[in-house]
Amino acid sequence: MSDASQDDSSVLGKRERGEDEPNGMSDEIGPPPADVNQDESDEDVGPMPMPAGAPGTTKKKRKVLPHERVYLEHLPSADQYYKSFMHRDALNFCVMTKTGFLITTSVDGHLKLWKKQDTGIEFVKHFRAHSSPIVGVSASADGQLFASISEDGSAKVFDVMNFDMINMFNLDYRPVACCYVHKRGQAQGLLAMRSSDQGSGTIRIYDARGDGKPLAVVDKLHRYPVHLMAYSDRFDTVISADENGFVEFWEPTEPFELPKKVPGMWKYKSTTDLYEFKKTKSVPTCITLSPDSSSFVTFSLPDRFIRIFSFITGKMTRKYDESLTAIQEMQQAGTTAYRVDDMEFGRRLALERELELPEADGRIPAMWSNAIWDESGAFVIYPTLLGIKVVNTVTNKVVRLMGKDEAVRFMNLALYQGAPAKKGFTTLAMAASANPILANKEARDPTLFCTGYKKQRFFLFTRSEPEDSKVSDRDVFNEKPTREEQSIATATITNKGGPSPLASSAVIHTTVGDIHIRLFPKQAPKAVENFVGHARSGYFEGVIFHRVIAKFMIQTGDPLGDGTGGTSIWGRDFEDEFSDDLRHDRPYTVSMANAGPNTNGSQFFITTTATPWLDKKHSIFGRVFSGLEVVHEIENVKVNKMEKPLEDIKIVNIDVD
C-alpha cells in the first residue's frame, strides 16, 4: 500500500486539540473509510480530445444483447449470500445436475446430495465416500449418474435419482481427472479417467456400471499428463487439456480422433487459437461448455485469464484479464468494478497469492476455481478477488458483482435456473384472483452455489438479500460440533454468565427523524451499559453528527462536536468487546468509535454499507432495524473538508427500553 493512502481517515488516533497536522487534516476517533477522495486540479494537462466532427470520430455501434433484462431476471442478484450449509471439512466441488440435484464434496472424502426445492434446497443423503481427499467429480449429461475419484485410488459411481451408490472401482493408479463421455439416453455410462502415476497422457474409458476393467485406452492424443476433460453431448465430443497447455478434441469412440460428422468443424489446429495456452505458458484449470455447446470458457493459471472459444472454429472470441497486475493497476486508477479500501485490498491480494502456492498434498488451491455459463449462453460467471462477476459476453460488460463485501474468497461455482413448478390448468378466476400461492408457483428461484477458500460451508446466492432481523439464521448449523468446538462453546457460555439485565433497544431522536436500534447486551455488555447510561443521563442531548462519509458511516457521541471529546460513564476508556456472532458484514451496524485498541469512550458510529475491515477493531453493540431512511438522509448531507456536515444535525434525546 502506498504512503499516499496514510491520511487522517486511515489513522485510528485520537486528535489532540489545537495540534496542527499536515494538509490541515487531523487524526480522529473513528473508523477508517474504505476510500479517500483527494482533490484534483481543474486544469487539464495532456493532449486534448479530437474535435467533434473530425475525420475518424465516427463511433462504432455498440453491441446489444436482446432481452438482456429478461435474462438477468433469471439470474441471482443479491449482494450477500442468503444461506450457507456445512460440511465437516473444507469443500472443493459443488455440481448441479440436470435433474435438479446439488452434489457437494469436501476434502475429507465426504459427499452430500441436496434437492433443489421451489425455494432453497433440502438435504437428501450423506455418503462417506472416500477415505482420502476427493480430487475429481463428474455428472453425466442427463444428470442420472455422478462419479467421484480420490487420492486413495478409488472411484465411486452414484445413481443420483435413487440417492444410491451403485458401483465402485479400486484402481491400480491414482486418478486425477474423470468425465462422463456418453450421450443422453445411452444405456452404457462411459467414464473416462486419467492417472497421475504415469508420465504419459493415457486416458482409460470404463463402463460406469461395469467391473472396473477399461473398455478402451486412449494413449495417442496427449504426450503430457491430462488433468482436465469436458464432454459435449450435442456433438459427442470430448475436450481434454494436459499439463503442458495442449488442448485436444476427440470422439469417445474408435478411433478417438477429431469428430468428422460435425458440420463446419475445424480440421487443422493451426487454423484455431487452441495453441493460446502453450503460447502464454499457462494451463487451463476448467473447461465449461455453454448450454448449446457452441462455445466453451476456460480459466487458466498462472496468467489468470478468462478465455472464451468457439467450439466449431476453435477461435478465441473473448479474453478477460483477471491477473493480479491488472487488478492492482485498476485499483490504483480507480477503474475497478468495485473500489476496495486499500487495507482490505492488500489483504485480499495476499490471499490471492496464497491461492497459487501448493498445499501439503501438492494441489494448488486456485485449481478449484471455475467459470460457468447461464442458461442463455450469453453470460459467464466466475469468482475473482473482488467478488463473483457476471459478465455479458455480447456487450463485454460486468453486469453484476455478487459477494463483494463478504469475507469469503469464493472458488467453485454451480448455477441453478430451473423452470417454475407446473401448476396445471388455470381458470380465468384463478388468473384474476391474484392469489400469492399461485403466483409463487410461477416464480423462479435462480440460485448460485459457491464454495469458499478453506471454508467448511457452501454458500447460496439468490435474488433475495438475507433478512437483517435473522442475520444469524443464514449460516445453518447442519453438522454436529466437534469436541473442540463443544469445549470452546461451553467456555464461552460460562464466561457470559446469566441473562443480561441491560436494555435491548433504543430510539435515537434526531432533528431529521428517529433511528431505532436493537442492542446486543450479551455480546457487548459494557458498550451497551455505557450507551444506555449516557442515554438515560441526557449526555447525548444536543450532540451533533460531527463526521459523515457517504457510503461508509455517520458518527456522533462527542459532546465537543469535533471528534476529540467524550468519555465513558466510568470516566475512563474501556476495553473492546468482540464477538464471533457479530460482524461488520452489512450496513446499519452500530459500533464504538475509538482511537486504538481498548480506547472506547462515548463516540459511536452507524455504518451505511458492509465494512468487513472493521471487524475485531471496533466493538459492535447494536444494529438499526427501523429509520433506515433517516440514516441515509444524514449520510447524504453536504460536508466540509473535515467531513463535518455544513448544517448541524443533532440528537434531541435517546429513549431506551
Cell triple for 529: 451499559
**For residues 47-64, b (16+ Cβ closer than 10 Å) or e, as one string?**
eeeeeeeeeeeeeeeeee
Q: Which amino acid type is present at position 512?
A: V
Q: Which amino acid type is present at position 645?
A: P
552, 574, 604, 621: which one is catalytic? 552
Q: Which amino acid type is present at position 479?
A: E
Q: State phi, psi for 495 to the nearest 5 degrees.
A: -70, -30
Q: State phi, psi for 585 to the nearest 5 degrees.
A: -100, 10
Give dist(CA 518, CA 539) in Å, integer.
Answer: 20
Cα torsion angle, 472, 478, 483, 486, sign? positive
555, 582, 586, 621: which one is catalytic? 555
Residue 246 has a CB neighbour count (10 Å cut-off) of 20
594 belongs to the catalytic site: yes
Give dist(CA 365, CA 351) in Å, integer.
Answer: 11
534, 618, 621, 623: which one is catalytic? 618
Are the C-beta atoms of 599 and 541 separated by less than 8 Å? no
The tally of CA atoms less than 13 A away on the side-chain side of residue 587 is 16
* Cα dihedral 46/52/54/56 (nearest 10): 80
Query: Residues 6 or more apart from 106 whose CB is under 8 A from it?
Result: 87, 88, 89, 90, 91, 92, 134, 456
Cell triple for 242: 494436459
614 belongs to the catalytic site: yes
3 state SS of 226: strand
412, 530, 594, 603: which one is catalytic? 594
126 belongs to the catalytic site: no
Task: Estimate to the nearest angstrom the gap between the alpha carbon of 497 and the chain centroid.
Answer: 37
552 belongs to the catalytic site: yes
547 belongs to the catalytic site: yes
Residues in a beta bridge with 149 = 136, 155
| DSSP tag of 482 | P
65 belongs to the catalytic site: no
Q: Which of 29, 16, 27, 15 is nearest to 7 (CA)?
A: 27
547, 584, 586, 623: which one is catalytic? 547
Residues in a beta bridge with 388 = 383, 402
605 belongs to the catalytic site: yes
Cell triple for 118: 421451489
Give dist(CA 72, CA 75) in Å, integer.
Answer: 5
Rg, Å, the chain Cα set: 29
Residue 299 has a CB neighbour count (10 Å cut-off) of 25
Give dist(CA 112, CA 531) in Å, integer.
Answer: 46
3 state SS of 389: strand
Residue 601 has a CB neighbour count (10 Å cut-off) of 25
Residues annotated as catalytic (active site), given as ranges: 547, 552, 555, 594, 605, 614, 618
